[in-house]
Amino acid sequence: MKKRGVILSTIVQKYGGTSMGSIEKIKSVAKKVILEKEKGNDVVVVVSAMGKTTNKLVDLAKEISVNPDKRELDVLLSTGEQISISKLSMLLNYMGYPSISLTGWQAGIYTEDKTENSNIKYIDTKKIKQELEKGKIVIIAGFQGINKNGDITTLGRGGSDTTAVALAAALKTKKCYIFSDVDGVYTADPNKVKSAKRLKNISYKEMSELSNEGAKVLHNRCVKIAEKFSIPIVTQSTFSSLTNNEIGTKISKKIEDNNIKSIVKKEVSRISIIGNKIINNYEIIEKIMKFIHENNIELLNVEIDETKMTLTSKNELGEDFLNVLHQVIFEDSSK
């Protein structure tokens, strides 16, 4: 076997369902993976099922029963990620970059006994390290593992994020990259707020609050694992230019300031403003409450804690309201 050169580090990358949605998109993924391999890094890649595959598999199960056996449902749902790992591995091998696909259980991901929304207990990295030693790119199915009885288990929606960060912790990597169709974390949902700006940095705590409030950027459990093992997460777009590989948002322990980071609308009448030590930011609290009063918004409840201020209105708060509130909160930073 040919001797390997000096390995700089081990990199964990995760690609979501949108990134795996077509052969052209999978080619974009392959280019990102190859870029890291060419730098001299060992590369471990975690992928989700393609597009809406998981939803389609759930529908297939419901054709049999409205309440399918949970063990068998996990067996069925796990097949979505297996399609993704095999396709990406075949493409990389075809492009001349030796790779191997591993299911969750082949990768040594052991979980609790429960099905559907199981938690990872530990990861035996022996098989992964053996394949990396052979110079291969290792492609691992996200969202799944195996319990002590040998049954396939799944980690719940968004579980591939958790798989990636847990692997980064087990392999003791310095960063975990999460790739999707967005290029980072924003001050608001950029699909709803045109003036939303991408954040360069955000803390674990702030990101966890955003995830809890429904921001579809990262699975909340993956943020908790990253914080526990001090693994910085970098969120980037699969489809950004290869020359702009550093564009994105870094989620880490470091908090550079106490500014408001983002606002998110979880329900029709509930909006949360996220930012470290917002409870002590009297200026922004006063500004928000003045805006509420001037616009005759009837509030049922206001909650403020260390990193979050939540407004619950008597009436529906539409996207127009969200846009204007975003402008009020972030107007100073745009000057």
Across the range 253-260, mean pLDDT stands at: 72
The pLDDT assigned to 258 comes to 66
| pLDDT over 90 (residue 4) | no
The pLDDT assigned to 241 comes to 64
Structure tokens at 205: 């705590």
Q: Which residues of 95-109 are buried (b: 16+ CB within 10 A; e: fewer)?
A: eebebbbbbbbbbbb
- 206-250 per-position pLDDT tens digit: 999 888 887 777 878 899 999 999 999 999 988 876 555 557 899
The pLDDT assigned to 94 comes to 97
Q: Is 334 exposed, middle or buried (0-12, 13-18, 19+ CB in 10 A)?
A: exposed
Instruction: With beta carbons less than 8 A apart as the criterion, state whether 280 and 307 touch.
Output: no
Residue 126's SS3 state is helix
Instruction: With beta carbons less than 8 A apart as the criterion, state whether 276 and 203 touch.
Output: yes
The pLDDT assigned to 255 comes to 64
Alpha-carbon gap, residue 292 to 285, rounded angstroms? 11
For residues 280, 282, 283, 288, the Cα torsion angle rounded to the nearest 10 degrees is: 110
Across the range 22-35, mean pLDDT stands at: 94
The pLDDT assigned to 333 comes to 45
| pLDDT over 90 (residue 332) | no
Residue 236's SS3 state is strand
Q: Which has more confidence, 245 or 144?
A: 144
Instruction: Return the amino acid letter for 59.
Output: D
